[in-house]
Structure 1
Amino acid sequence: MSDVLSDAEIGARHGLSAAAYDGARELRVEELACTRGAALIFDNLSFTVKAGEALLVGGANGSGKSSLLRQLAGLLPVAAGRIEMAFGAPDQTVHYLGHADGLKNALTVGETLAFEAALVGCALPAQISATLGLGARDWQFVGDLSAGQRRRLTLARLIIDPRPLWLLDEPMTALDTQARALVDALAQAHLAQGGMIVAASHEGLAFAQSEIRLGQAMEAGA
């Protein structure tokens, strides 16, 4: 039997419902520009992501995929244009999972999950370790986990503290087939409840309905 749950099973296990998020929520980006020092990374970028939608951001290395996500997360200044979020401030409504996982090697998996829940004042969902495929590793130190297991552990933040917009930077990196299926199931459950996703990736993502490629004059969803 597979350790990976379907998107429906994940939603049911953690109490996710189709009405979890307000369907009126929307992310709109208009004529956005990004610079690095004096260099222009991209400009005139426009797109809209509505409730239940996922956007894939592609492009070559250095095209600005990670920088775009950091702008959307409020971690990088906007050189020109604007970002409108019709659902609240990023620090309360956005999950940003970048290349750095922010995990503490000296904690166990179980301690990390408890810490993440306490940090946001949320109850730790039942069977979350099993959902992440880490059920037998609650007492293992984070520093002893493989790269793929660490990536699985960071996904806990998406479950523990539900937020409408997920910003995912290369979400499939270092993941095996089962872990990739887990990411897809989590994403599908999130979208089914009216969530939104913007994901930067060098590869296609099954849960994404539309795509833009940086480095090309493209506009999506405007």
Structure 2
Amino acid sequence: MTLQAWGLACARGGRSLFSGVAFELRAGEALWVKGGNGSGKTSLLRLLSGLGVPQEGEVRWKGRTIRSQREDYHGELLYCGHAAAVKDDLSAWENVAMASSLAGRACNRADAERALELAGLGHMAALPGRALSQGQRRRVALARLFLPSLPALLLLDEPFAALDAASADTLCARIAGHLGQGGMAVYTTHQAHALETGKLQVLDLEAGAGMGAPAHGGRHAAGPAPPAAAGADGGKASAVVHEGGLAWRGGADGGAARPC
């Protein structure tokens, strides 16, 4: 089971965000996507989820392009965007159940309430979304990660945003447990966190370097070499992937795919 990116490029408003992004993620591995605001982290996750179409390159799942297996691929991933997407008029548990159902996974009240309990919000399961703080709303959105039978691939955009230290540690433990069972995760974050895994790759969208040998024995996806230079419009150069033994401590959107 592999997730591969081959020479991905993306631009917004005539400005290159990134080019030549390439990596290979295998069962039990995680990819931490780094970069400042505007570097293209969210755009990259949308490309990996199939919600966007790259200018160049392709994304492959189990050796096949995601375009050729869209329905099957979406059935094997959980995408959690940066926005909490919590409905004010629904209770916390109803929000969890609705988000899961929209992603194609039936969820009953008992499972939703259990997920909220594991996320530290069991006592707020019946409260409406409007009564929750920003941090609590974020934890409601992330409670889907605590439902039984997670899909193989987790795509998480800023999952640690608005979380306190205890909640961040709980989320790290959940992601690590998923990896330990052979799952995969790609996530972005500016936050300090403690995801402990010996199979963590780091992709820095602001590295400003070509696709040379990654640090610490990392590897690139097999296949055609991605472009090494920035786009003609003066955008950023290719990103770099490397591995590290320890991370630094410190909704599903159902829209149609669109060009990057």
TM (norm. structure 1) is 0.81
Percent same amino acid at aligned positions? 37
Letter in 2 for 1:151: R
Distance 1:111 1:178, change over 3 A: same
* Consecutive unaligned residues in structure 1, runs of 5 or more: 1-24
CA contact (8 A) 1:45 1:218 kept: no
CA contact (8 A) 2:78 2:155 kept: yes
Q: 1:163 is paired with a residue of what secondary structure?
A: coil
Deviation at 1:52, TM superposition (A): 0.5
Deviation at 1:98, TM superposition (A): 1.3
CA contact (8 A) 2:96 2:143 kept: yes
Counterpart of 2:7 in structure 1 is: 31
Counterpart of 1:185 in structure 2 is: 173
Distance in 2 separating the partners of 1:60 and 1:117:
30
2:115 to 128, 143, 146: 128
Distance in 2 separating the partners of 1:29 and 1:133:
35
Counterpart of 1:107 in structure 2 is: 90
TM (norm. structure 2) is 0.70
Distance in 2 separating the partners of 1:214 and 1:38:
18
Distance in 2 separating the partners of 1:63 and 1:179:
27
Distance in 2 separating the partners of 1:200 and 1:110:
26
Letter in 1 for 2:121: L
Over residues 149-180 of structure 1, what are the superposed CA-to-partner deviations in whole Å (9 max), with x where a residue is unaligned? 11111112223361111111111111001110
Q: 1:136 is paired with a residue of what secondary structure?
A: helix
* Consecutive unaligned residues in structure 2, runs of 5 or more: 64-68, 212-217, 221-260
Counterpart of 1:221 in structure 2 is: 219
Deviation at 1:205, TM superposition (A): 4.0
CA contact (8 A) 1:148 1:174 kept: yes
Q: 1:200-219 to 2 correspondence within 5 Å?
A: 200-207=188-195, 209-216=200-207, 217=209, 219=211
Counterpart of 2:30 in structure 1 is: 54
Counterpart of 1:92 in structure 2 is: 75
Distance 1:95 1:218, change over 3 A: farther
Do structure 1's residue 63 and structure 2's residue 63 form an aligned pair? no
Distance in 1 separating the partners of 2:129 and 2:157:
21
Distance in 2 separating the partners of 1:27 and 1:188:
18
Letter in 1 for 2:23: F
CA contact (8 A) 2:82 2:159 kept: no
